[in-house]
Every structure is written in C-alpha cells, then in structure tokens.
Amino acid sequence: MATTYKTFLNNDITSTKTLLHEAIPLTGALVSGTYGTFPNGGNIKNYAHGMFQSCYDYPYLSSSANHIFDLTVGYSSDSMLSGAGSIQNAKKINMYNQMAQVLVGYDQTGSILRFDRDGDITGGEKLNECIFINFARLLGKDEIKKGSFTLKLGTGSYAPGASPASLITIQDTNAQNDYRVNSPAGEYGILSCSSGASSGTPSCGLIFYQAGIAVVSGSVFTNVLSGGIIAGNPHMDTVGTLFSPSLTDSAISGNCDNFRHRIYDMSFNNTTELNSTIHFCRINHNDYNYSSNPTYLSSSKIVVKNNTQDAPVSYITTVGLYSADNELLAVAKLSEPLKKDPTNEMTVRVRLDY
C-alpha cells in the first residue's frame, strides 16, 4: 500500500478509441450442407416453435460448434402474400413485425414502421417480403464494418449439390461514406445488387451494423416483370416453385432451407471497439526518491547509499491507481525497474483498455 499519493489533474488523463477489424468468410458449402444431406445438415438446427433456423460451423450437438447466424423469413400484413391461406401466416407476419419494431421503430401513431428500400422511413417503396440474417455476436462483435458486406446468391436452376449457373452479388457499396442513422438500432446501410441484376444497381435490402442483421428483399428472387430485380425466374426447390408461392406454401424452416441453398458465399469484416484511458503519471525530481519497502533500510540506514552524502535512490517497478478515498483500483507493472533520484524527472504512461 502506498504512503504517498499524487492527484491526477485534467491534463494528466486522456481517452482514445481504436477499431479492430477481422475478416469473416462464410462459404456456401458450410451454410448449405457440409455436414449432411441438404437441407438437414448436422450444423442446421430447427426449433419446435418454427420461428427461425440456426446455422453452426460444425454439428450443433458438438461442444466444438460455434453459432454463425439465425435465419428467418417474414412479410408485412400489407403484403399481397399475406392471407389466411398462407402456411404459418401469423408467424411470418409476427417475425416481420418483430424485426421492424426493433430495427425501424414506430410512427407517431404508435404503428410499426415497415422496412424502406432507400432508408427514407417516411415514404418511398417498402420491403414487404424479407429474409432476415441475424449474425451471432461471436462473428459480428461490436458491429459489422461499413462497406465490407458481400453476399453472393445463385439465381439459376435449382440443382442440389451443384454450383449455381448464375449469380447476383449483393453489397453495401460505399456505405462507409453513405449510411443512415434514423434507426433505433443504430446505423444501417443500403444493400444493392452490383452484378447479375437486370439493370443498374437496384437496392435490395438493408444491413444494420450494430445490430448485426441483414435484411434481404424477396425481390432478389423475383422477375423484373413481377416487380423484382432479376431477369430470370429462379426455382426455390426441386419441383420448380417460384419465390412467392414458396413463401406462402412453405413453413418458415422450408423457406430458410431454400434461401440457404442459394447462398454461394458471404463475407464481411467485424469491428471490435477498444476504448482506452491513458494516465500520464508525472514524477517530479523530488518525488518518490525513497521507498516504503522495509528492505530499503538497514539499521535505519538507506542500503543503496554508500555514504551519508550520496543522494537517495529508488527503483520504480509498479504504478498503482487509487480511488479518491485511496482504495487501490488497478496495478501496472513496468517491464524493467526505472532508477529514480533527485537529479531526474520522468513520466510513466499507463493505459487501461476496456
């Protein structure tokens, strides 16, 4: 325990923030059946409630398995596909509303807002049929790095186990410079089809960076003539079902299987925010030249002095940070002892990361 304390002044403490990024590649083989016959691979877990599906990087019953993402589908009650004849109609509407109320919020009347194609929540074209990819915190960390998300989807004929005949690439291009902040869940970017689309780079979804959720519009599997953005009519299963009938005539788990089969690969960079508080411990020439360690004295004499005329000498090995009532809060160890006597001054820089 220290016997002499120094108080930090305002100029002695500063804070910094560092962003660390890690590349996360997810191959289509892992997502669509590496560990078993598609769609019931050992790394895919369906639940009795039927609301969503979880994907792991290894058979989920193994202690080595890591959760990658949860997958679900849903549509708004304003969608033309909603209706009593649709399988799990109420659950699909509930999933859409649950995601919308968290990611988009409510209007002034208390009604849940719908996902907007261009991020202009007050107007514009809405995304009424969506696929939701909720990345695990293990992968997304504090947030997904803006401008790093890429998703490649097959849009050709359905052929289990075969590479897709054609691809569309979905990205949040230039999102680091152009993103939205009008979401209760934080910042989000616009997803657009940068290749393989019918024309231009039409928007086809949203990605919420802090929440770690990608919202993909059903238009990526819909023909231009039917209001979609691709030229063809991809089949969602082996019997040739198109997207809209598949969404209404299959359960949520079946729609998740159909979407997973279309994933060629997916990648993004995550972000870890490292906050630091830096304390500059300033030691003046007349500070800490003595030690309170009992071994510093022998028969009331300083052991490091050869004669009484020598200057006192100490060696600094540890810095302690104390609260206002002198309770020890943190300890920093120096890599080597620092010699201190009345002829020198020094500043020890202590960094606390959290």
What is the pLDDT, as a whole number, of residue 39? 72
How many angstroms separate the CA atoms of 111 and 90, rounded? 17
Q: How confident is the model at residue 163 (pLDDT cuts 50, 70, 90)?
A: low
What pTM value is reported for the model? Answer: 0.83
Tell me which amino acid residue 61 is: L
Instruction: Write out pLDDT tens, residues 73-116.
Output: 999 999 999 988 899 999 999 999 999 999 999 998 999 999 99
CB 324 within 8 A of CB 302: no
Q: What tens digit of pLDDT does each residue of 137-147 get?
A: 999 999 999 99
Q: What local confidence, expressed as pLDDT, does residue 34 receive?
A: 67
Residues pairing with 338 in the sheet: 316
Distance CA(260)–CA(75), nearest Å, equals 18
Residue of 277, 330, 281, 280 whose CA lies nearest to 17? 277
Q: What is the 3-state secondary structure (H, E, C) of 284-342?
A: CCCCCCCCCCHHHEECCEECCCCCCCCCCCEEEEEEEEECCCCCEEEEEEEEEEEEECC
Say what percent of the chain tops pLDDT 70: 90
Q: What pLDDT was estimated at residue 334?
A: 93
d(CA 248, CA 116): 22
- In the numeric block, the tokens 């082996």 are attached to 238
What DSSP assignment string belongs to 311-325?
PP-EEEEEEEEE-TT
Q: How far apart are CA 192 and CA 171, in angstroms?
A: 6
Averaged confidence pLDDT in the chain? 88
Pick the more confident residue, 9 or 240: 9
What 3-state class would DSSP assign to 10? helix
Q: What pLDDT, on a 0 to 100 scale, did the predictor assign at position 196?
A: 63
Dist. CA 332–CA 337, nearest whole Å: 12
State the Cα–Cα distance between residues 65 and 63, nearest whole angstrom.
6
Domain ranges of the chain: 21-271, 284-353
- 176-231 pLDDT, tens digit per residue, is 999 999 999 999 999 998 766 665 678 899 999 999 999 999 988 887 767 777 77
